[in-house]
């Protein structure tokens, strides 16, 4: 998947990149990383070895428990594979085309957040970091290191990269929260069964309104952003007192730093970022819908909105970074939702296998190729000769 998950967004150094944090390795003339600062960094590399080993073991246990224990209880892999083998040539072409469009659309949000970003450079970064985040347990942190390294090599400053990572992450999270709410509302309005999801949607509305209010306060002005940060610190400190821990004032600083770095981007390109994220989400859902119909689940059995809700819930399940790329958790949620809406367990599993095969494996193989190509261009100095982002005051060419 190309969207940032919660883990990746949380590893953007407290919402501030190295340059914003006063990294002495950054070039003071334009905030760009120097060669010393441009080395790949891995926040996860600073964790104790026992923590990393424990995380990997937990991921393996969860994946095995879901694929070898949970799913076989209500679905047959043999029957699902039989359904996949019966795909018509037309559906194979449609799924292949949707996969290509979905991979291509992943770059759009970053192009909106980094207006001078060349498409091919964005594609190389997305595929490389996706390959890392979907194959390594807790790989989101390592993927962020690649994001800074690769975008930095294309000429972008740490501040610009941090702003892009933060805004695209928040926009993607907002869509992940809003999509199931919209699907439930549309199903309720059209008289379709929601299987008890209305209550969850109401809770999601409350959460979404709270997040929207926090965003409004953050970007309204400095005073409201400072008030929001202080409120967050008071809540955190009340919990720290119960644990007999010293107070912290990090949230106020983080909110103000985040506002300084992203305010112009949100105000000037917020609508374009929304369009980019929406286009990427629509492309991915089109692939999912094709997979569901190709697996033999007609609209008369599982409606368009039911597929949309199943997709939305599965994406939410994958937002918790227990396994690489949500492997297992996404599959169990998606298969379970389709089955609840009327699909047979085997066809639901077949639809999931088609979706995951089209979105999980291609970025891994493509990511290896894009990493090699990026390294080759880096060694030749191609990106230094023609950076995407020029020095301040110099308009972008082309």
Query: What's the rounded Cα separation, in Å, for the pair 213 and 217?
Result: 6
Phi, psi values for residue 376, rounded to 5°: -65, -45
Q: Which of 12-26, 125-139, 182-196 has the lowest mean pLDDT?
A: 12-26
103-120 pLDDT, tens per residue?
Answer: 999 999 999 888 889 999
The verdict on residue 211 lying in a domain is: yes
- Structural domain boundaries enclosing 154: 55-385
The verdict on residue 390 lying in a domain is: no
The verdict on residue 222 lying in a domain is: yes
The verdict on residue 41 lying in a domain is: no
Query: What's the rounded Cα separation, in Å, for the pair 131 and 125?
Result: 10
The verdict on residue 48 lying in a domain is: no
The verdict on residue 34 lying in a domain is: no
Instruction: Give the residue from 282, 280, 294, 285 showing the smallest Cα distance to 351.
Output: 294
Which is more confident, 17 or 87?
87
Average pLDDT, the chain: 75
218-262 pLDDT, tens per residue?
Answer: 777 778 877 887 788 778 778 777 777 877 777 777 777 777 667
Residue 296 — left, alpha, or beta (φ > 0 → left; ψ -120 to 50 → alpha)?
left
The verdict on residue 198 lying in a domain is: yes
User: How many domains is the chain built from?
Assistant: 1
pTM of the complete model: 0.70
Which is more confident, 104 or 28?
104
Which is more confident, 390 or 22?
390
The verdict on residue 157 lying in a domain is: yes
pLDDT at 177 over 60: yes
């Amino acid at each position: 998947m190309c969207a940032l998950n919660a883990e990746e967004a949380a590893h953007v150094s407290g919402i501030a990149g190295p340059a914003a944090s006063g990294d002495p390795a950054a070039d003071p003339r334009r905030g760009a990383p120097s060669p010393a600062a441009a080395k790949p960094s891995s926040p996860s590399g600073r964790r104790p070895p026992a923590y990393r080993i424990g995380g990997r073991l937990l991921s393996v246990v969860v994946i095995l428990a879901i694929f070898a224990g949970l799913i076989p209880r209500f679905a047959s892999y043999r029957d699902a594979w039989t359904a996949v083998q019966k795909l018509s040539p037309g559906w194979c072409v449609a799924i292949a085309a949707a996969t290509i469009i979905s991979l291509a659309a992943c770059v759009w949000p970053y192009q909106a957040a980094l207006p001078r970003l060349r498409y091919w450079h964005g594609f190389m970064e997305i595929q490389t970091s996706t390959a890392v985040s979907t194959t390594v347990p807790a790989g989101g942190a390592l993927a962020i290191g690649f994001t800074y390294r690769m975008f930095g090599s294309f000429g972008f400053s740490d501040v610009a990269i941090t702003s892009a990572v933060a805004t695209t992450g928040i926009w993607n999270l907002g869509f992940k929260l809003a999509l199931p709410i919209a699907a439930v509302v549309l199903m309720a309005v059209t008289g379709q069964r929601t299987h008890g999801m209305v209550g969850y949607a109401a809770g999601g509305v409350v959460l979404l309104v709270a997040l929207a209010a926090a965003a409004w306060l953050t970007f309204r002005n400095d005073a409201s952003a400072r008030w929001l940060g202080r409120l967050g610190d008071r809540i955190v400190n009340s919990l720290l007192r119960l644990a007999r821990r010293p107070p912290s004032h990090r949230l106020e600083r983080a909110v103000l730093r985040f506002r300084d770095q992203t305010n112009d981007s949100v105000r000037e390109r917020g609508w374009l970022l929304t369009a980019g994220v929406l286009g990427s989400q629509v492309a991915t859902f089109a692939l999912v819908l094709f997979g569901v119909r190709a697996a033999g689940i007609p609209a008369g059995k599982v409606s368009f909105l039911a597929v949309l809700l199943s997709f939305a819930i599965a994406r939410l399940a994958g937002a918790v970074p227990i396994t690489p790329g949500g492997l297992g958790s996404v599959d169990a949620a998606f298969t379970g939702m389709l089955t609840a809406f009327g699909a047979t367990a085997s066809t639901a599993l077949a639809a999931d296998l088609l979706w995951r095969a089209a979105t999980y494996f291609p970025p891994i193989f493509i990511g290896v190729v894009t990493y090699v190509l990026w390294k080759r261009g880096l060694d030749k100095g191609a990106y230094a000769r023609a950076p995407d982002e020029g020095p301040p005051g110099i308009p972008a060419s082309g």
